[in-house]
Amino acid sequence: MEVLLLESLVKSLNSPIQEELGLLCGIETEIQKLSSLLSTTKAVIEDAENKQFTNKAIQLWLQKLNLIAYEVDDILDDYATEVSREPSNVLDCLPATSNIWFRHRIGARMKKIIGKFDAVADERIKLGLSNHFLVDSTAIREIGSLLNEPDLVLGRDEEKDEIVKTLVNHVRDNQNVSVLPIVGVGGLGKTTLAQLVFNDENLAEPFKPKLWAWVSEKFDVKSIIKALIESAKGTSMGDLPLDTLQRKLQELLRGKRYLIVLDDVWNENPQEWEDLKSVLQCGSKGSSIVTTTHMEKVATIMGTLQTYYLWSLSANECWSLFRQRAFGYQEAEEYPNLVVIGKEIVKKCGGLPLAAKALGGLLRFEREENVWNSVCSELGNLPQDETDILPALRLSYLNLPVELRGCFAYCAVFSKGSEIEKEEVIHLWMANGLISSNGTMEVEDVGDAVLTELHHRSLFQAVKKDESGNVLTFVMPNLVHDLAQSLMEAKDGGTIRTNRHLTLDFPYDQQIVAFPIRRMRGTDRYSSFLSKCGSLRVLIVRTAWWEKRFSKLPPAVNLSGSHIVELPNSICGLWNLQILNLNDCEHLRSLPKGMRFLRNLRHLCLRGCWNLTHIPSGIGELSWLRTLSMVVLGGKKGFQLSELRGLNMLRGELSIRHLERVEDKKDAEEAWLIGKQSLRRLCLYFNWDSERMLQRYNDEEVLEALKPSPILQFLHIEGFNGSSFPSWISTVTTVRVFNSAPEYIVGAQESTATAATDNPKGMLKALVLWNMPNLKGMLGREVQVTPGVFSQLQSLSFVDCPTLTLPLPRMPSLKELDVNMCRNMAWASISNLTSLNSLIIEDIPELSCFLEEMLQNLSLLESLEIRFIWDLRALPRSLASLTALKTLTIKECPKLGSLPKEHHLFDCFNLVSPSMGTTALKSLTQLSIQGSNATALPEELKY
């Protein structure tokens, strides 16, 4: 049972508006009694949670309590819905004649629910439940940045290196497609080891492409092929026929040396493996498949190379892994008594890394000996399952703060092995009452803290992170998902508790309602379901544009042919809707006119809805909005920038499209972007077309007036037709400019001075300039370099800037430079960048050689990459002066005939005899030459 939901209900029942409603409906006594029952019951929840695994009666009691609590919440939803239907205030609307029936019905429902709750509350005494374990459920620990995960490789370096060596040798032997099985029990880290192998840099060039598929218990050839294709393309393939998927996969693999990982295979049917293997035989010699499995029989069926058996970690390795998790960056020796207890705990982990990580994460913020002793004792008393890992994981669950348990268990709704988006899971927790604001933190921040805590405890594993290291997506290890699934089944008894979350997935014609997952077929059933969705809080719509099976849809969603084009106004009757997620609905053209009636809407997710032509006015009235991914300006009749003025709680990302429709800076100032302190990413789009070029718009004044908060982290500008950028541009951490007209980044003395005054130390750390046809340089010729301009810039990229001719200024912090398609680059000025660590030069037309000065003064350069320079014939001799160089990559330079020393050489056809210096470039550690005449290499560099 979720404590936060009970707290939410108690707060709601005790609020002034509910007291007034109770008086008006004649049920004030019932409301008071129900509030008291909820408060009393909340006090014994933790005791019940701890005992449910060994006491079936308590487990059934929790299930009944779940259902009743959500019935109460539904009644409160009906209150809110009835009030929302009327424009007048609550006191005016309820006594109306039209609401007499409503008042009678609510009163009857309250009396009925009181009876149910009375019976359940009495049972707690018979079950011997106590409030002794009650904790403050609002005390979610505030945590800083996420942990890095260096421990993932701890104890598996040797195994990884051995497997990589086997695969490389297989390539050299030029053998047919091979299969290498990794076998071990659950929790040993087979998947982690396969990931380490898959991402090893030594396999980057020998194997292209590399594909991954998670298989699990059901060995479905069609699903596996589909997963492999999606792994390569990064996009969903939809529900295509098997023969179509087979052809697409073979197109990807034919004639190529590929590496495939089939993770978590259980199949014991040789014929099913033969069916899949026949599709994979189209690769070139040297291709390899790595499979992970619990079962030796699977390895016997699939394997062609010797099976690699994964054993438990040694006691020292297991202790090191536990210590990293439990003590973090602190020295374990500071707590000698805890070290003794910790080593006893590690003995009970059986050498399983997942158990060591989970238990170490559990104790990370505990320094009391009695807590550690309790964990050590409880670990031995927990009931054993068929695997040794689940007791340790269950103990991790029981030691979670009570308010986190429901959030963890809820994640069982996601498919095992699936990549889960942080934003989506937080929204679902919110909608199901699993998290709420704690007074000092917004509910979204509480959700982020919960997710971080679960990650710290090794129950979640990060997959993707943003530039700042924040987790964007994560997965649950398979055995952790098994635990969540068992908890959910115990909690809800296999029932659907309420209709709060609806996902419409087209073309699959299925919907997911709350949890556990229930699928419904037939479009006619959507209408009947939506008509009962008074408590719907989340509506997620996903479509696959290539499917054309649906021509008729329910009233809630319109789909024209193959994709959603518009949503009907009837959606605006979902009064309690908090989240409307339309991300990646690429063909959505408009939103309903009645959007302003969704008063409880907090998140309107429109990321990737690039075909939106307009959004309705009135969205600025939705004061609860925290996410508004995109707005499309509509001129005088549509959405106006002024509607953004009051939405100062917006967070995350905001895209503003059609800024060319803003006529002067006063309109832009109305947006008041500087007041949106929680906004982290801002994307500004001007429509730069031929029709607009004939008109006169003052883009510079508009952009200057759109000054954001100084804590903005990312800015994207596209189609900007002004001659210079705004003075505030250097206050943003990362800036990306695309398809824009300015000649300089800083083009006038006064704007430079303003930028330096506003931000004397400089905040701009990364700058990408893409398709800038007029760009001449970073600074105008008349601009004096001031301390604040580019002083903190660390990464700089020029892509397709044909008029870039002025020398680069000195940038003392610059570490990375990427120059792409800039034929007139002032190459010698690169020598000014004395802090440079990485230099990439690619796709430069008609360039036959570099100036000798280019590589001078670059004593810190560690990585140099030169690619796709078709006319390049020689590199400067100053290459030998790069004493810190560790990586030199040269690719697709067919006319290059000599080289002082090389690291990676790909497709350099005229390279005959590289001269190898004995004292220069000593820091280079590897040599790999492909596609070149390497007959004259020194003997020590040959295989």
Q: Mean of the per-residue pLDDT values for the chain?
A: 75
Question: How many other C-beta atoms lie within 10 A of the C-beta of residue 531?
Answer: 11
Q: Where do the H-state alpha helices sit in 330-388?
A: 336-347, 353-362, 369-381
Q: What is the pLDDT of residue 671?
A: 94
Over residues 835-846, mean pLDDT: 95
pLDDT digits 0-9 by tens, 144-182 = 223 334 444 456 788 899 999 999 888 877 778 899 999
Q: What percent of the chain has pLDDT over 70?
A: 71
> What is the Cα–Cα distance from 770 to 801, expressed in whole angstroms?
7
Question: How many other C-beta atoms lie within 10 A of the C-beta of residue 116?
Answer: 15
Given a cut of 70, whether residue 921 has pLDDT beyond it is no
- H helix or E strand, kind and range, residue 527: helix 524-530
Question: If you ran DSSP here, which 8-state letter would residue 508 be given?
Answer: T
> What is the Cα–Cα distance from 57 to 125, expressed in whole angstroms?
12
pLDDT bucket at 317, cuts 50 / 70 / 90 = confident
Q: What is the pLDDT of residue 839?
A: 97
- CA-nearest of 810, 754, 743, 817 to 781 is 743
pLDDT digits 0-9 by tens, 456-466 = 777 887 888 77
Over residues 51-57, mean pLDDT: 74
CB 906 within 8 A of CB 881: no
Q: What is the pLDDT of residue 191?
A: 86
pLDDT digits 0-9 by tens, 223-233 = 899 989 988 88
Q: What residue type is assigned to position 553 of the chain? A: L
Q: What is the pLDDT of residue 802?
A: 95
Token pair listed for 177: 């497609």
pLDDT bucket at 137, cuts 50 / 70 / 90 = very low
CB 14 within 8 A of CB 37: no
CB 52 within 8 A of CB 62: yes
In this structure, of 5-9, 121-125, 919-923, the range with the lowest mean pLDDT score is: 919-923
The number of angstroms, rounded, from the C-alpha of 65 to the middle of its chain's C-alpha atoms is 34
Greater model confidence, 262 or 487: 262
Given a cut of 90, whether residue 765 has pLDDT beyond it is yes
From residue 426, alpha-carbon distances to 366, 433, 635 in Å are 26, 11, 35
Q: How far apart are the first and last CA of the chain?
A: 64
Strand, coil or helix: 513: strand
Greater model confidence, 742 or 390: 742
Q: What is the pLDDT of residue 15?
A: 52
Fold of 156-309: Rossmann fold (3.40.50)
Question: Tokens 């008894």 correspond to what residue?
Answer: 493
Based on its alpha-carbon atoms, the radius of gyration of the chain, rounded to whole angstroms, reads 31
The torsion angles phi and psi of 120, rounded to 5 degrees, stand at -70, -40
CB 610 within 8 A of CB 633: no
Greater model confidence, 924 or 229: 229
Q: Where are the beta strands (DSSP E) in 747-844?
A: 766-770, 777-779, 795-799, 816-820, 838-842
pLDDT digits 0-9 by tens, 631-664 = 999 877 789 999 999 999 999 999 999 998 888 8
Q: In what order do the strands lie in the sheet with 471-475?
A: 420-421, 471-475, 461-465
Given a cut of 90, whether residue 320 has pLDDT beyond it is no
Q: What percent of the chain has pLDDT over 90?
A: 25
Question: Tokens 């590897």 correspond to what residue?
Answer: 926
Measured N-to-C along each axis, helices 336-347 and 315-327 cross at an angle, to the nearest 10 degrees, of 130
> What is the Cα–Cα distance from 699 to 665, expressed in whole angstroms?
9
Q: What residue type is assigned to position 229 of the chain? A: I
Given a cut of 80, whether residue 39 has pLDDT beyond it is no
Question: Tokens 């927790």 correspond to what residue?
Answer: 429
> What is the Cα–Cα distance from 182 to 163, expressed in whole angstroms?
9
Over residues 810-833, mean pLDDT: 95
- CA-nearest of 646, 653, 698, 701 to 680 is 653
- CA-nearest of 248, 206, 210 to 229 is 248
CB 899 within 8 A of CB 911: yes
Given a cut of 90, whether residue 626 has pLDDT beyond it is yes
Greater model confidence, 870 or 118: 870
pLDDT digits 0-9 by tens, 685-729 = 998 664 555 454 578 899 999 999 988 999 999 999 888 888 899
Determine if the peptide bond prior to 938 is cis (ω within 30°): no
Q: What is the pLDDT of residue 481?
A: 85
130: left (phi over 0), alpha (psi -120 to 50) or beta: beta
Q: What is the pLDDT of residue 893?
A: 87
Given a cut of 50, whether residue 777 has pLDDT beyond it is yes
CB 62 within 8 A of CB 491: yes
> CA 497, 498, 504, 510: dihedral to nearest 10 degrees?
40
Q: Where are the domains of the chain?
A: 1-87+96-127, 156-309, 532-613
Q: What is the pLDDT of residue 45?
A: 72
Q: What is the pLDDT of residue 497?
A: 43
pLDDT bucket at 904, cuts 50 / 70 / 90 = very low
Given a cut of 60, whether residue 451 has pLDDT beyond it is yes
> CA 69, 72, 74, 75: dihedral to nearest 10 degrees?
180
pLDDT digits 0-9 by tens, 845-903 = 989 999 999 999 999 999 999 999 999 988 888 888 898 998 888 888 888 875 555 44
pLDDT bucket at 675, cuts 50 / 70 / 90 = very high
> What is the Cα–Cα distance from 812 to 73, expressed in whole angstroms?
59
Greater model confidence, 100 or 386: 100
Q: What is the pLDDT of residue 799?
A: 97
Q: What is the pLDDT of residue 423?
A: 87
Q: What is the pLDDT of residue 476?
A: 85
pLDDT digits 0-9 by tens, 278-316 = 999 888 888 999 999 888 888 889 999 989 888 878 888
The number of angstroms, rounded, from the C-alpha of 626 to the middle of its chain's C-alpha atoms is 18
CB 539 within 8 A of CB 580: yes
- CA-nearest of 378, 368, 313, 312 to 345 is 378
Q: What is the pLDDT of residue 182?
A: 93
Question: If you ran DSSP here, which 8-state letter would residue 14 be given?
Answer: T
In this structure, of 655-669, 807-821, 822-836, 906-920, the range with the lowest mean pLDDT score is: 906-920
The number of angstroms, rounded, from the C-alpha of 553 to the middle of its chain's C-alpha atoms is 31
In this structure, of 80-94, 320-334, 340-354, 510-524, the range with the lowest mean pLDDT score is: 510-524
pLDDT digits 0-9 by tens, 87-108 = 444 434 444 434 666 667 777 7
The torsion angles phi and psi of 393, rounded to 5 degrees, stand at -70, -40
- CA-nearest of 245, 247, 260, 270 to 213 is 260
Residues facing residue 817 across a β-bridge: 796, 839
- CA-nearest of 294, 243, 299, 241 to 270 is 299
From residue 284, alpha-carbon distances to 200, 207, 276, 594 in Å are 21, 10, 17, 58
pLDDT digits 0-9 by tens, 391-437 = 667 777 877 777 788 899 888 888 877 888 898 889 888 877 788 88
> What is the Cα–Cα distance from 678 to 593, expressed in whole angstroms?
27
CB 294 within 8 A of CB 182: no
Token pair listed for 373: 């002793």
From residue 332, alpha-carbon distances to 289, 346, 363, 447, 634 in Å are 41, 14, 13, 31, 61
Q: What is the pLDDT of residue 7?
A: 56
Q: What is the pLDDT of residue 40?
A: 66
